[in-house]
Structure 1
């Protein structure tokens, strides 16, 4: 049985690595999520069982070879559990072709970007591997007053031309550095981009500030709403991400295939 479990774990780990780091695309996105939510917990259980088995077999002076091998491979498979525990530094690899990059205008005046390829703010998920958090000075300050943050209540304009396919406009702001959020995105706008047919997400907007409706066609630079502090956010900022998949159709949003953004000068 130990040999069977060992080989099964080896095969699953190799397939996941090949899909993520070689194939990419949707195969990589789903393999990454499988590794985090299924393979890692399963491997952790196997590892714990092997620790106990090793102690028992050592006391009985039996061979430890296969138990040790199984422990090592299960610990490797369990490593992605650190993502769920919030202690991981691994991020999803950015593998999109350069031609998939969308040119966008900066949606906030004087915006400062954190994210993309060079600074992966929160790219532990495939959908966000090219995402940006946009802030305005001052930011990262010790204050519970939202108005002290430079980007709070700033106007947000459409970074691209496209059609509004979804939005949320009713969620209240939360205080900085709290976890009292009601949803991941808070108030958001989903845009289907004219030029590429791909999709853009703008999130953490201010309640009742969104002035577009589903079905509206917007042009680049057109007013959309204001930056708030709704959703999963430690301080006011605008989250922007570009992805291949329609966010309204994804059962598991984190499995969407993230695509790059380049802001126009």
Structure 2
């Protein structure tokens, strides 16, 4: 079966963000096709290459408050024009777990979260039906109480949908984005995505490169042009 053409989006945030779990590195990008995550991507807000204001003993041995992470509370924008078909809010923002030690008990509850369905995995999220039947884009792990749109509402590209959080299956504040061929993640298939008009820093000490359309590679830092 041939791979469908990617749906082209705008980056759904301002500022500089680090690409994680990129489908440019592997497919399925998150190691599974479950919940249509085949081509999903994650983005973590950074300053330079730092994701948080501090890296102390808690980052090595314990959990951390989400407020110290640059991504937490950052506006998440509509990556394309479309219509809101689903909104899920009310999931709590969890403590962050950069420490491998702190991730052990969290990993033991992974199966229970999967059994809880897409909402338990995605946390607070918005699903947009893209104009011209371009697919359904999911923006997940949003901050509790931050969602600004309602089901049935039409949105323009760049419109604020909510704020980045740490809800659902998340160990530190970040944005998860994916495209599906239907609105139901239990039955949908993942659709490839790409982004237009952004700058990328491929090396920490290198200059930014302008990209008209592409997929950020693993650990590249990107910013909207």
TM-score of the two chains, using structure 2 as the length reference: 0.67
1:259 corresponds to which residue? 191
More helix by share: 1
* SS across alignment from 1:184: helix
1:105 corresponds to which residue? 10
Matches within 5 A, 1:167-182: 167-177=87-97, 179=106
More strand by share: 2
1:131 corresponds to which residue? 40
User: Structure 2, unaligned stretches of length 5 or more?
Assistant: 98-102, 198-225
Q: Distance in 1 between matches of 2:152 and 2:4?
A: 30
Could you say what the CA RMSD is over the residues aligned between the two structures, in angstroms?
2.1
After TM superposition, which residue ranges in structure 1, 4 or more long, deviate above 6 angstroms?
Answer: none
Deviation at 1:197, TM superposition (A): 4.1
Do the aligned residues in 2 keep the contact of 1:115 with 1:130 (CA within 8 Å)? no
* SS across alignment from 1:192: strand
Give the counterpart of 1:153 among 62, 69, 73: 73
Deviation at 1:149, TM superposition (A): 1.4
Q: Distance in 1 between matches of 2:153 and 2:73?
A: 23
Give the counterpart of 2:3 among 89, 92, 96: 96
2:215 corresponds to which residue? none
Which is greater in Rg? 1
Higher relative contact order (CA 8 A, sep 6+): 2
* Number of aligned residue pairs: 165
Do the aligned residues in 2 keep the contact of 1:156 with 1:226 (CA within 8 Å)? yes
Q: Distance in 2 between matches of 1:225 and 1:123?
A: 27
Deviation string 1:131-172 (CA, Å, 9 cap, x unpaired) is 000111133862602122121110001001100011112111
1:184 corresponds to which residue? 121
Deviation at 1:96, TM superposition (A): 2.0
Q: Distance in 1 between matches of 2:147 and 2:194?
A: 24
* SS across alignment from 1:166: strand
1:144 corresponds to which residue? 64
- Aligned pair 1:165/2:67, yes or no? no
* SS across alignment from 2:67: helix
User: Structure 1, unaligned stretches of length 5 or more?
Assistant: 1-22, 24-94
Q: Distance in 1 between matches of 2:20 and 2:133?
A: 24
Deviation string 1:66-87 (CA, Å, 9 cap, x unpaired) is xxxxxxxxxxxxxxxxxxxxxx
- Aligned pair 1:215/2:127, yes or no? no
Is the alpha carbon distance of 1:146 and 1:222 closer, same or farther for their aligned partners in structure 2, counting shifts above 3 Å? same
Matches within 5 A, 1:47-66: none
